Structure 1
């Protein structure tokens, strides 16, 4: 069955069929046509994981992010970021990084981050004299911080395939996310200084800074609010996601006063589309996981790694190299759901903490989001900047180095994973 599934998946991908459909059809065919399972049971295997209660957190977190990001909140956050770092070398690039870090605590989606912030900041950077390719590079790379900052959708997906605490993953991801942010800000600073990028020379009074900070405070409190509720055990992740939607409605309606029916409907439509895509991949990954488990693939791979690689440090390196390649070919959610069960088996065999594995996978696969040939945030940002992919990739070199350095830290320095 495993061979039939893999061959079918490769054929469908070569025919340019979307990943979710390729996985579902190849998995169903392997079970019902070449395997012992009736078609009806194969269909049940596909829909079974979509009934998971913790997965309800995904649409509600997406909805809360959509409600908050589509209004005045974005302008307030960008204004605050400009006041904080705009005057330094590479300031507008640093504004993108700070904005991505804060927005990540609202949206939890790297692609949404790249689209929302890129539409605002890349044209502004180009007007101020920044190269369009550099603006696209900063946006595409810094937007992946949203995949780590709570409420991170990739971390929720990893929790479902590994039976790991979502709260523990959220808390453990904060330090790696901040390391990425500070590293990318440093890359912007030194690049801007070396190439003489213009700096913002606006003068702000203390009162203006204070007022801007207070106006952006509701958004800044969102990730803190989520972590406190989870850490204190006040609510489950699913309950927190529903509270987050209520919080977004209250902030948009009472604080910013920009909530209307059109915004709510747009956020609902986006939530349905995004959730549908994610759920399709989850459904497909379940049937693929069943086939692989039935064939003993995860156990065989884990046994091979322990017998031939032996050293846990070398096994971790091999895992990272595999993920870097897979991340360039598959989208992040699909890669987590497909590789998660096998890597969890390997982690248990070598004594690697599963929370550390989850953070390592998210950091690693996030690099694929701004790496050709499939890099989603790379293509979104390049399209907004109207730059070719090659010129953007050249500007991405320092950001690749930062991301790889953080990946090595989370892989080999367990003390950074605090939860």
Structure 2
């Protein structure tokens, strides 16, 4: 069954069939080909994930992020970032990184962040004299920080396939996320200094730091608000996501007074579309998981890795190489749901903490989002900047270097994922 499913899935990807449909058709065909599994059971397996209470957190976190990012708060966040780092070398690139880190604590989605933040900051950087390729590269790479800063949707998906605590995953991913942000800021600083990029010195574009901090405080507080509620056991992840929506409504309506019916409608429509895409992949991965578990693929792969590679160092290296390759062709949610069960089994066999495994997987697959040939944030950044993909990739190599260093540290030094 697994061979038939894999072969069909590869063919459908070459034919540009959407990933969710490709997974359903490939796994469904494999089940029918093998026989022995009642059709009714296959249908039940397909819809079973939709009954998961923790997964309700995904649409609510998406909705809260849409409500907060689409209004005045987005402008306040950019103003805060500009006041914080705009005056330094490569300042406008650093503004993008800081903005991405903060937006990540609001949206939890790298794709949403690249679209929202890129549409504001890429044209701004181009007007100020930054190369279009560099502006797109900063946006494409830094937007992936959203995959680590709470409320990270990839981490929520990983928790569903590993049964790891969402609160622990959120806590463990904060430090790696900040390390990526700091590393990307260093790239912007040295690039700006060596290449003479302009700095933000025009006072008319900046307000006092204290004033900008107060204006952006509601968004800055969001990740800590989520972690405190989860770690203190006050609310479940799903309950926290609902509270986040209420928080976004109050902040927009009371503090910024920019909440309109049109904004609510747009946020709801966007949430439904995004959730539909994610849930299609989740339901499809349930059928794939049934095929893999029926043939004991995770256990067989774990046993093979132990017998062939022997040491944990080589096994972790193998997993990272596989993920880097898969991440170049599959979107992050699909890759997590497909690789997660097998890699969790391998991690358990070598004594790797599932929380460390989750952080490693999210960092690794996030790199795929800005890696050709099918990097989602890479294409978004290039489209907004109106430059060829090749021009953006040339500017990305130092960002890849930073990401790989953080990935290696998270893979081999458990202390960096303390929760």
1:390 and 2:390 are equivalent in the alignment: yes
1:214-257 CA deviation, whole Å, 9 max, x = no partner? 11101110111001001111000000000000000000000010
Matching residue of 2:407: 407
Q: CA deviation at 1:205?
A: 12
1:304 and 2:274 are equivalent in the alignment: no
Q: 1:355 to 1:390 in 2, by over 3 A?
A: same
- 1:256-335 pair list within 5 angstroms: 256-335=256-335
Matching residue of 2:155: 155
1:99-146 CA deviation, whole Å, 9 max, x = no partner? 000000000000001000100000000010000000000000000000
Distance 1:322 1:210 in 2: 46
- 1:186-205 pair list within 5 angstroms: 186-203=186-203
Distance 1:386 1:137 in 2: 12
Distance 2:261 2:418 in 1: 41
Secondary structure of 1:396's match? helix
Matching residue of 2:359: 359
Matching residue of 2:341: 341
Matching residue of 2:117: 117
Secondary structure of 1:16's match? coil
Matching residue of 1:170: 170
Distance 2:266 2:136 in 1: 26
TM-score (norm 1): 0.98
Matching residue of 1:136: 136
Matching residue of 1:245: 245
Q: CA deviation at 1:32?
A: 2.7
Q: CA deviation at 1:6?
A: 1.4
Q: CA deviation at 1:38?
A: 2.6
Q: Is the 8 A contact 1:90 1:189 kept in 2?
A: yes
After the TM superposition, which of the residue ranges 40-49 and 396-405 deviates more from structure 2?
Answer: 40-49
1:55 and 2:75 are equivalent in the alignment: no
Q: Is the 8 A contact 2:70 2:263 kept in 1?
A: yes
Q: Is the 8 A contact 1:230 1:240 kept in 2?
A: yes
Distance 1:40 1:319 in 2: 35
Aligned residue pair count: 419
Q: Is the 8 A contact 1:4 1:34 kept in 2?
A: no
Q: Is the 8 A contact 1:83 1:204 kept in 2?
A: no
Q: Is the 8 A contact 1:20 1:284 kept in 2?
A: yes
Matching residue of 1:181: 181
1:282-314 CA deviation, whole Å, 9 max, x = no partner? 101111011011101111100010011111011
Q: Is the 8 A contact 2:79 2:206 kept in 1?
A: no
Q: Is the 8 A contact 2:83 2:206 kept in 1?
A: no
Matching residue of 1:23: 23
Q: Is the 8 A contact 2:288 2:338 kept in 1?
A: yes
Distance 1:193 1:179 in 2: 21
Q: CA deviation at 1:33?
A: 4.0
Q: Unmatched 5+ residue regions in structure 2?
A: none
Q: CA deviation at 1:206?
A: 11
Q: 1:117 to 1:35 in 2, by over 3 A?
A: same
Q: Is the 8 A contact 1:309 1:315 kept in 2?
A: yes
Q: 1:278 to 1:149 in 2, by over 3 A?
A: same
Q: CA deviation at 1:190?
A: 0.3
Q: CA deviation at 1:11?
A: 2.1
C-alpha RMSD of the superposition: 1.2
1:364-395 CA deviation, whole Å, 9 max, x = no partner? 00000000011000000100000000010000
- 1:43-82 pair list within 5 angstroms: 43-82=43-82
